[in-house]
Structure 1
Amino acid sequence: MASNHTTNYQLNQWAKPDRVMMDDFNADNAKIDAALAARNCRFYTTSYTGDGELTKTWTFPAKPILIVLTCPTQWLLAVINAREGHGWGQLGGNSVTGLPCTVDGNSVTWSAENNSQSWMGNNKDTQYGMFAILEAE
């Protein structure tokens, strides 16, 4: 049995002289599983290549709560609050508030609305990273 435990979940912290026991690992895994389930959400990551259209729709494996888009070729951060149906974005030093988006079940559509903000998550041939927090199933 481990002689030390973590502060928050009392998981085993092993020291060299400790004898490692399967029961201890199983108990730790049960604690981790319970802690993750209690958060009532899960994380989702992916990437895609923009097609240059003024709107982009993405369907997630579960209902999204929060979506963050990033891009390596320019300084981009777009945040979509799917529960509230609106977003915010920033490119370089220029902020865009009120990024238009709609939520339909597990799908979210965001748009540039005929302005210079077409970069907002869908420039043609640009790679985007996406991180989302989804509702637990």
Structure 2
Amino acid sequence: MASTNHTEHLGLNQWILTDKPRMDDFNSDNLKIDQSLGTHVADGDIHVTAAERAKWNGAPRIASGTYVGDNSVSRTISVGFTPKFCIIFAQDEMPVDPVNDNSIGEVFCAMAANGTGSYGLRIATGGFTITHQQATPIDRRFLRLNLSGTTYGYFAIA
């Protein structure tokens, strides 16, 4: 005898004490469960395929943020991965700002990519390293990539 009660969604048997379950009842319930789960598992619109998962796991990693300069000559900023490209820039400053009649400027922006880059910025394991120069200009420019109190933005991608 089938059960007196049935579940709402799949109509599975819900027996009460006076019901007398039979093998056919269990087989019927198992078939309903198998069909329902089989349809669900096969639905490619609601599940991520192995190819999709691999593509997402290989997606570029991106980090952006800010740091405030502390005047240290060298400083490494961690972004949680080793970038392939990075750019840094000072907020409210020109990338290169001439400061005197001798055309010696201050550099407030730098880029680096895959082992090369402008003066003052290098890719490092887990982030990037900046160089800040106080006294001796390089190519008639002071590197101002960690000037005390200046806020710098960065964008890194791997």
Evaluate the alpha carbon distance shift between residue 46 and residue 112 of structure 1 in structure 2; reply closer, same or farther with a 3 A threshold. same
* Structure index of larger Rg: 2
1:54 Cα deviation (Å)? Answer: 2.6
1:111 Cα deviation (Å)? Answer: 1.7
* Matching residue of 1:91: none
For the pair 1:106 / 2:130, whether they are aligned, the reply is no
TM-score, with normalisation over the residues of structure 2? 0.48
Flag the structure with higher strand content: 1
Which sections of structure 1, spanning at least 5 residues, go unmatched? Answer: 1-22, 89-98
Runs (4+) of structure 1 moved beyond 6 Å? 29-32
Mapped partners of 2:122, 2:88: distance in 1: 16
Aligned pairs, number: 97
Mapped partners of 1:71, 1:25: distance in 2: 45
Alignment partner of 2:87 out of 60, 68, 72 = 68
The answer to whether the 8 Å contact 2:120/2:143 transfers is no
* Matching residue of 2:147: 123
1:49 Cα deviation (Å)? Answer: 0.3
1:33 Cα deviation (Å)? Answer: 5.5
Evaluate the alpha carbon distance shift between residue 132 and residue 32 of structure 1 in structure 2; reply closer, same or farther with a 3 A threshold. farther
Mapped partners of 1:47, 1:110: distance in 2: 13
The answer to whether the 8 Å contact 2:71/2:132 transfers is no
Identity of aligned residues (%): 19
Evaluate the alpha carbon distance shift between residue 25 and residue 74 of structure 1 in structure 2; reply closer, same or farther with a 3 A threshold. farther
1:34 Cα deviation (Å)? Answer: 5.1
RMSD: 2.9
Residue pairs, 1:69-84, within 5 angstroms: 69-76=88-95, 77-81=109-113, 83-84=114-115
Alignment partner of 1:87 out of 117, 125, 129 = 117
Residue pairs, 1:13-24, within 5 angstroms: none
Q: Secondary structure of the residue that 1:79 maps to in structure 2?
A: strand
1:61 Cα deviation (Å)? Answer: 0.9
